[in-house]
Structure 1
Amino acid sequence: MRNRGSIMQRSAEKQRKTAETEITVMWNLDGSGVGQLDTGVGFFDHMLDQIARHGLMDLSVRARGDLHIDAHHTVEDVGIAMGQAFRQAIGDRAGIQRYGHAYVPLDEALARVVVDISNRPFLHWEVNFPSQKIGDFDAELFREWFYAFAINAGVSMHVDLLRGSNSHHIAECCFKALARALRAACAIDPQRGGATPSTKGTLSA
């Protein structure tokens, strides 16, 4: 987090470089919904853009990976880097709402995402895609991204598909619901007066 005058900017930049991928993530939790996504995987970029736009967060993700093999390493490592950037941006979690949930429909599909920014990472994933591919994208990789993000962000997350028959709609519902849930959980609670929302007195350890 950076302090500019009297305004605390909850933002972070994270870089990740391995033999398989090279990734840079810049995340401002208090943005206006600007997404700059360039992972080399078009449908994945479209999903990440939902987080920015519907979470009202400014998010930049640039990734170069071994897409000549497949998108697995790129998608998973983007999840890791985004989780680490989120964790750094949210800081000690003092004063936040902490919990958030959202139901999002898209035509026949309806998804629910519930989050707890608790520093106790967990993922419950109850989402089934009727098709293995969405265009050229392997639908099973979405669970890999959600898991990598949740574990590295320190977020307990439950993702449930309540109904849906179109794989594109299902994926988009999940990302939009995540965006809305994170937006709610990251919001500053004015009644807390900056106190940590935990009986332990801390969410940073």
Structure 2
Amino acid sequence: MIETIVFDVGETITRDDRYWASWADWLDVPRHTMSALVGAVVAQGQDNAEALRLARPGIDIAAEYRAREAAGRGEDLEESDLYSDARPALAALQNLGVRVIVAGNQTPRAADLLRGLALPADLVATSGEWGVAKPEPGFFHRLLEVAQAAPEETLYVGDHPANDVFPAKAAGLWAAHIRRGPWGHLWAGSHEVVAAADWQVNSLTELPGIVRS
């Protein structure tokens, strides 16, 4: 029985459109170029951050984050960045008595911004707060610890096979792969993903039905 559902953030409950557009503007490269670079690294199975290194070789990403904050052009998150199914799906799950958690590979600042949206969630946390990121096993150990949840009663939902589906399964959780964003669409038909994911969904609104069944 699923008692806890954990949601990845980027391209699961939030759109990354403005995130990448802001980096393109900061690095002074055309937005379509940045978008293409993100697509290229996704196709090669690399981390999204590699797109920034392609746009500016030798970039110190942590230093650039600090510079953006100092310039008043740091991370931002608004209601319009949420996918339209995110808030209704989270609320429906809570109404079913499911513990809802949002936890992904984001900064402490992103955690504050997410909490500011007052999502229907019992807990919001990020890798930046925990000091350990997916796909490291420690991320999922920490997740289960703070959620006070048993792995066999916990479902992790995300778009990224290597960061979400595979390590969640390795940690003993259920896993749902959402066909959303570059990773979600590109790898949806992969034999490895199909075999590993317990469910593949096109919308978060499918999750209450999974819980009921």
Scaled by the length of structure 2, the TM-score of the pair is 0.29
Structure number with the higher strand fraction is 1
Scaled by the length of structure 1, the TM-score of the pair is 0.29
